[in-house]
Amino acid sequence: MLVGFVRLFPVEIDRSGTELIFFGALGTRSGLPPFVTLPLLFLGVAGVMTLVGEGVARTFRQFPPLEAYRLDILGSLAGIVAFSLLGFLEAPPVVWGAVVALALFLLIDRRSALWQTPVLAAMLIVLGLESAVATDSWSPYYKIRLTPQSSGAIRLLVNGIPHQTIEAASRKLDVVSIYGLPYTRTRATPGNVLIVGAGTGDDVAIALRLGAQHVDAVEIDPRIHAIGVQLNPDRAFQDPRVTSFVNDGRAFLEQTTRHYDLILFALPDSLTLVAGQSSLRLESYLFTAEAMQAARRHLTPQGAFGEYNYYREQWLIDRLAGTLQQVYGRPPCVDSVGQSGRLALLMASPSATALQCPSTWKPASASTPPATDDYPFLYLQARTIPDFYLLTLGLILAAALLLVRLSAGTLRPMGRYLDLLCMGAAFLLLETKNVVQFALLFGTTWFVNSLVFTGILIAVYLAIEVARRVELGPSWRLYLALVVALAVAWLVQPELLLRLSIVPRFVVAIVIAFAPVFLANLVFARRFRDVAASNLAFAANLLGAMVGGVLEYASLLTGYRALLILIAVLYAGAFMLQRARQHRPLSLT
């Protein structure tokens, strides 16, 4: 039912309001209104996971607590390996569904198979229909659809949203003049060019047409790059003057040693979020002040930096222009197209004479401060949690508590596991911090994300094995070691790691990120080993993880580094609750 609903009523992005910018379709909205779609999706997902969780709870009771937890983590590791494999294969939905259906079929008993098998078959039929559309393909980030246009161009939609148009460079220059402006605003024709957000190759073809001698083309999505190789009419990626890199743009800037006459960020809006992190987009670390500094370091003395996009709001143009002014010491050049002025090109250079600018930036109002690596929320106008976020989070928490109350009865038995609830919230935040830090250090690609989750699960598994085999002593020692590890993570800021070459950066990042994960799970495993009802204790921990998911939005106010303080406070609360329980009179336990 959930799969069928999503297919019949695709989710639409509501772009109203200026507090937070969403890059979505510009046309008329269709489908059900969001206040209908979102609750139904939430209830559908919650219903599916409730049924899965019920099976997990029944199975937990059959094993000692730590053994059950160990098997659960091994299953999660198998899941992330399967996810990575299917991502590499760019598998369509029916393949993902087949893997799930096979796993569920192996788990159901003979009596249940009589009615569950037809349901699984129906799910595969729906996903098969979705996968059989000839114009559709899947990348690790998007569902991609190609739609031919009457002009001969090909429109590329991702997740139902117009994203790119594949057409000849000559026609694109005639239709949208701003694509050629970066090469006319420089006093000398750029010879060596870096294009971040190369997409299907149109910007690369334009660079070659306008005199570039060599182009490094960086595109994060492997499928979009492959489509460009197949369908770009200028065959830009096959040109011997072009070197292609399927990589995150910020990661490329941090890793390359090359210098360029022109670095161009060509409409790099991803239209998607980093998996496992609710506020970070794929391009978030590409537009911070530190990223602009990294780009400047790779310019030749007379080189130029440019970025263009449909920026939607004037305050966003002001933020980006203000960032360039901070980095280059002078206002950038600004070219706008259209009456709204929202399609804009911003250019800057370390040389005062490298650019010829008809107009320079003048802020329309008090400009918003630059995004930073600690606060990379480019599309959020002010440090606030938008009202619709607060409303949605409140409804989710209320619905979760209500559903738990209706399905499991009174929540009072969980009172003895409040420390595990605090641990769940803290660990979710710790996981979030690691995801965003590795995205900054190594790129916001899906594969880096998979490696982070794999590393976290391995650290958890090692902690379980240590707890099963070693007497860990008083719990306060583990909590103290955990606090020390969190303090080290606070002191060693990402900019220090970015100065290291890739191998030592990777080694140090693993130690700093996964030491707290390992110690946190030693704390959890030691406590979980002795619980009387493992299913109830695990439920309290998962409910805490949901609370942690809500607290994650505090980063919109504080930035990500401050989450370490909140994590330490939650673990301190867990320690005090655990101590209070141990010293409570026996008659009251």
For the chain, what are the domain ranges? 166-348, 386-588
Q: 52: helix, coil or strand?
A: helix
pLDDT value, residue 411: 65
pLDDT value, residue 550: 86
Q: Which CATH code of 3.40.50.150, 3.50.50.60, 1.20.5.440, 3.40.630.30 fits the domain covering 166-348? A: 3.40.50.150
Q: What is the average per-residue pLDDT within 166-171?
A: 92
Angstrom distance (rounded) from CA 137 to CA 158: 10
Q: What is the average per-residue pLDDT within 299-318?
A: 89
Lowest mean pLDDT among 85-94, 231-240, 473-482, 531-540: 531-540
Q: What percent of the chain has pLDDT over 70?
A: 88
The Cβ of residue 211 has, within 10 Å, a number of other Cβ atoms equal to 12
Res. 520: pLDDT tops 90: yes
Confidence of residue 147 (pLDDT cuts 50, 70, 90): very high
User: Using one digit for the tens of pLDDT, what is the confidence trace for 231-259?
Assistant: 999 999 999 999 999 999 999 999 999 99
Angstrom distance (rounded) from CA 183 to CA 181: 5
In the chain, the amino acid numbered 241 is R
For residue 294, what is the enclosing H or E element? helix 289-297
Q: What is the average per-residue pLDDT within 37-57?
A: 74
Q: What is the average per-residue pLDDT within 460-468?
A: 90
Q: Which of 366, 449, 414, 360 is nearest to 547 (CA)?
A: 414
Confidence of residue 304 (pLDDT cuts 50, 70, 90): very high
Would residue 46 be called left, alpha or beta, if left means φ above 0 and alpha means ψ between -120 and 50 degrees?
alpha
418, 515 Cβ separation under 8 angstroms = no
Res. 119: pLDDT tops 70: yes
In the chain, the amino acid numbered 79 is G
Query: Residue 150 corresponds to which tokens in the numbers above?
Result: 């009457």
pLDDT value, residue 527: 87
Token pair 């106008």 is at which residue?
381
Angstrom distance (rounded) from CA 487 to CA 568: 9
- Cα torsion angle, 243, 280, 425, 86, sign: negative
Confidence of residue 274 (pLDDT cuts 50, 70, 90): low
Q: What is the average per-residue pLDDT within 258-279?
A: 76
For residue 79, what is the enclosing H or E element? helix 65-89
Angstrom distance (rounded) from CA 109 to CA 103: 12
Q: What is the average per-residue pLDDT within 137-147?
A: 90
Q: What is the average per-residue pLDDT within 203-218?
A: 95
Lowest mean pLDDT among 54-63, 87-96, 314-323, 512-521: 54-63
Could you tell me which residues are beta bridge partners of residue 304?
262
Q: What is the average per-residue pLDDT within 541-556?
A: 87
Lowest mean pLDDT among 26-35, 94-103, 154-163, 426-435: 26-35
Res. 589: pLDDT tops 50: no
Res. 319: pLDDT tops 60: yes
Query: Which span out of 35-44, 326-335, 393-402 was modeled with the highest average pLDDT?
Result: 326-335
Q: Which one is predicted more confidently, 213 or 58?
A: 213
Angstrom distance (rounded) from CA 18 to CA 319: 14
Q: Which of 210, 211, 298 is nearest to 254 (CA)?
A: 298
* Domain 386-588: CATH class, spelled out: mainly alpha
User: Using one digit for the tens of pLDDT, what is the confidence trace for 338-378?
Assistant: 655 478 899 999 999 999 988 999 887 776 899 999 999 98
- Torsion angle of C-alpha atoms 147, 153, 158, 160, degrees rounded to 10: -50
